[in-house]
Amino acid sequence: MNISIIYESKYGNGKEAMTYLDTILKNKRYSVQLLSIHDIKPQLIPESDLYIFSAPNAFGKIVRSMRKFLEKIEIKNSSAQYLLVNTCLNPASSQDKGLEQMDEILSKKKISKLSDGLKLRVMTMKGPLESGYEKKLEELVLKIQ
């Protein structure tokens, strides 16, 4: 399975989490590409079987840069699926709509959701990530297998 992890990371928390996820997946012998949205044009994302998109929240919504990126992507593989990861201050808040926003945008593309998304808590605006985030990512990988 070919997997593309595409992330936005304002203060490095998302990058840290996605780098860890990249390591787990590669250890399980998946072909993985780890890409920042700042290093690739949305129209030129690699063709993959699974896309994992990760973005931080700002005031309960995904950051504008990721929203714009997702709106512009073009998925060529009609059987591709996606998973979402969101880094946020208060994942239990009903006002936290980051995953829902990403789902809404991707539902208009030719791509289906593999599983419910994952919210990772950041302890303050600039981090660090919550203790035990690695275990949550390891559990996410089980949904891929």
pLDDT score recorded for residue 58: 85
pLDDT score recorded for residue 59: 85
* pTM assigned to the model: 0.96
Confidence of residue 96 (pLDDT cuts 50, 70, 90): confident
pLDDT score recorded for residue 79: 94
pLDDT score recorded for residue 137: 98
Q: How far apart are CA 14 and CA 64, in angstroms?
A: 15
Of 102, 106, 115, which Cα lies nearest the Cα of 142?
A: 115
Confidence of residue 34 (pLDDT cuts 50, 70, 90): very high
53-80, pLDDT tens digit by residue? 999 998 889 999 999 999 999 998 989 9
pLDDT score recorded for residue 105: 96
Of 27, 28, 68, 30, which Cα lies nearest the Cα of 51?
A: 30
99-141, pLDDT tens digit by residue? 999 999 999 998 999 999 999 999 998 999 999 999 999 999 9
Task: Average the pLDDT over 86-99 and give the result.
Answer: 88
Domains plus CATH for the chain?
Answer: 2-144 (3.40.50.360)
10-27, pLDDT tens digit by residue? 999 999 999 999 999 999
Q: How far apart are CA 38 and CA 36, in angstroms?
A: 5
